[in-house]
Amino acid sequence: MPSTRFLGSLSTPRVDITIDTGNLFFNQALEGFLKIGSVAATRSIAEDSFKAINGGKLSKHCLERSLKKMCKEGAYWGNVAGVYVGMEYGVGRIRGTWDWKNAMIGGALTGALVSAATNNNKDQIVSDALTGGAVATASVLLNYLT
């Protein structure tokens, strides 16, 4: 059975995480989950902190609600990212090439899957699949510019 390792490094403004589960597919999906999940949780806590400071109210109930929201947002967006990274990797393995088309197909599949999981109608699922594919493709193409 392969051993699991966790390595991390921090250099401004980038955080690199290396996870070795013994399977490249699981490594990438877990890395996507952790990175995007932590970003979503951080955004949630920053948003709630801003609301608490502007409202002038800080109570135990407010902190509990913020913590629950932080965990919920982090888990949701982490799962979406993990599914997307896994889909993109799987499409790349099936196609045998690594290009922007993998992102487009992976984004479309992820958009459709997430939309279907939230019990949307067929038109909304198609719309979310197109949006997921477009956003993922734009992201990859923007990375080519830098």
Calculate mean pLDDT across residues 89-112.
Answer: 95
pLDDT above 90 (res 79): yes
Q: What is the pLDDT of residues 24-50, one digit of tens each?
A: 889 889 989 998 999 999 999 999 888
Q: CB atoms < 10 A from the CB of 64, how many? A: 10
Whether residue 7 has pLDDT greater than 80: no
Give me the mean pLDDT over the 110-114 stretch.
95
CA–CA gap between residue 118 and residue 130 (Å, rounded): 16
pLDDT at position 145: 84
Q: What does the domain layout of the chain look like in residue ranges?
A: 28-58, 59-96, 97-145
Q: Does the pLDDT at position 10 exceed 80?
A: no
Round to whole Å and give the CA distance between 103 and 27: 18
**pLDDT reported for residue 53:** 84
Query: Please, what's the b/e burial string for 119-132 (b: 16 or more CB within 10 A of its CB; e: otherwise)?
Result: eeeeeebeebbeeb
pLDDT tens digit sequence for 46-69: 998 888 888 877 788 888 999 999
